[in-house]
Structure 1
Amino acid sequence: MTIGDQPIPGCPVIIPVIKGLVKIIGSKGSAEEQYKSPYSVAINKDRDFVTVDHDNNKLQITNREGTFKNILEFKQFKKPFRPRDIAISSDNKYHSLDGNNRHVVVSDENGHVIRCFGQNELKDPWGIGISPVDGNVYVTTRIGHCVRVYTQHGKYLRSFGSQGKGQGQFYWPLGVVISTTGMVFVADRNNKRIQVFNAHDQYLYSFDCQSGDGKMRYPGGIAIENDKYVYVTTEYPSSLLKFESCGKFVCRIDSDSDGLNCPIGIALTDDVPCRVVLTDTDNHCIKVFVQ
């Protein structure tokens, strides 16, 4: 190696490259830094991991190393709070999707409830995403087979989709994410595909790789990186996949030795390259990957 045609002292050097599974956070249980069926994960303004601890009926916050910071529990509702997914707005408001009470719970980082909405429209809500374009909140409803759209203040705006296999139809939609240009990506679980819509809810295209390492059987979680790459968790086989936003398969991030067992939630850090954080639901932990 040279700079200005002059050899760099000390060359050659060995530069270690970290790739693949780099961290496992948590184990099965109900104590701090333990989980029971974590469904989803998001990253707050402090770069902490906010995990939907589904079977423990709470949100648990850890730092990036996995050290416990806080637990949020909401016990004021008619039925026990049963979180399924979470999205965090640009002003750090937590939007938690409560499957038991069928509503969105908006709180601050300390667990103070600001508002709830969606009770009149949501049936079996499952996934939630916030548009970086207009701040609207997108919620997928599994047995409703559609996506419902709200303002951040909870006003119901519209819905799109119906049950079926056609373009713009769903069969158990789960994860949803919105790009900086307003494109909406939905994990259409039982149709084994990702569907993409524009900001006006119009169907654009789908991708549904069904062979090799990119085999997409029952996609659940979905995240997007810089509008260029889409990351998808699949239940069968349990895997973490990377695609170009146009749907072209890029690579599988995990390997068989990583032992994923029903991964669902997924979030991306702001590192370069980004770290992919996912909930390994049936292993009751969080796993962090570097590409």
Structure 2
Amino acid sequence: FIGEEGDFVAPVGMAFDNNEERLYVVDTRGHKVVVFDRAGHKLFSFGKRGDERGEFYYPVTVRVSRGDTVYVVDSFHFAVQAFSPDGTFLFSFGPIKAGGSKMARPRDIAIDSEDHLYITDANRNHVQVWSSQGKLLMTFGEFGSAPGEFRLPAGICILNDTIYVADSINRRVQLFRYLGSGGRKNVEEHS
């Protein structure tokens, strides 16, 4: 086992940082991220329940970029928060307190080869694509059952610029291809 009694309330998401050789584990009901070394020894944790930047309200998943930025999907703040590998808050996008969020129910995050962030939004039934600095670039998908449409998109991962989206209610995984050549950023349905 990794961790000791009391380290977690409800661990739900995790990511490994190969550069730092650390495992980041999101504890959704503990409102924190717990960090372990490769051998499974606890190094530290960061975050707590709260409404300020760097604090969480039911975080659900974590990903680490090639540049070692730690991105945490903070579900009930309708935001993604970015941290350094040691847990220092860097920035966030999607409001922590303010209204008018671009995210209604962020569920998962993936990072492509150009460090764009792909975030599934279960309530809006689409995938949002953000720059690594928190600028919304585009969305794709909408409510429905046809190819390219979603009903409760949940998990997402990217391998070799193929985007895999778990489409929960439609009981399928959809594939999309990232087209990033020539400075034009686009996503198309994978055939």
Give the TM-score of the pair, scaled to structure 2. Answer: 0.82
The CA deviation at 1:285 is: 2.0
Listed as ranges, the gaps of 5+ residues in structure 2 are 178-186
Please identify runs of 4+ aligned residues in structure 1 that moved more than 4 A.
none
After superposition, the C-alpha distances for 1:220-244 in whole angstroms (9 at most, x for unaligned) are: 1011123531110112112111011
Q: Distance in 1 between matches of 2:121 and 2:137?
A: 15
Matching of residue 262 in structure 1 with residue 148 in structure 2: no
2:181 corresponds in structure 1 to none
Q: Distance in 1 between matches of 2:38 and 2:151?
A: 34
1:148 corresponds in structure 2 to 34
1:288 corresponds in structure 2 to 175
After superposition, the C-alpha distances for 1:45-95 in whole angstroms (9 at most, x for unaligned) are: xxxxxxxxxxxxxxxxxxxxxxxxxxxxxxxxxxxxxxxxxxxxxxxxxxx
Q: Distance in 2 between matches of 1:139 and 1:195?
A: 15
SS of the residue 1:190 aligns to: helix
For the pair shown, which has the larger CA radius of gyration, 1 or 2?
A: 1
Identical-pair percentage = 27
Aligned ranges for residues 190-209 of structure 1 at < 5 Å? 190-208=76-94
| Amino acid in structure 2 at the alignment position of 1:196 | A
**Greater relative contact order (CA < 8 Å, ≥ 6 in sequence):** 1
* Mapped contact 2:119–2:127 kept (Cα < 8 A): yes
Matching of residue 158 in structure 1 with residue 48 in structure 2: no
| Amino acid in structure 2 at the alignment position of 1:221 | D
| Amino acid in structure 2 at the alignment position of 1:117 | I
Listed as ranges, the gaps of 5+ residues in structure 1 are 1-115
The CA deviation at 1:184 is: 0.4
* Mapped contact 2:129–2:136 kept (Cα < 8 A): yes
- Give the one of 115, 120, 135 matched to 1:233: 120
Q: 1:148 to 1:191 in 2, by over 3 A?
A: same
After superposition, the C-alpha distances for 1:95-125 in whole angstroms (9 at most, x for unaligned) are: xxxxxxxxxxxxxxxxxxxxx3235212111
Q: CA RMSD in A?
A: 1.8
SS of the residue 1:247 aligns to: coil
Q: Distance in 1 between matches of 2:79 and 2:43?
A: 26
| Amino acid in structure 1 at the alignment position of 2:93 | F
Aligned ranges for residues 2-17 of structure 1 at < 5 Å? none
The CA deviation at 1:282 is: 2.8
The CA deviation at 1:256 is: 3.6
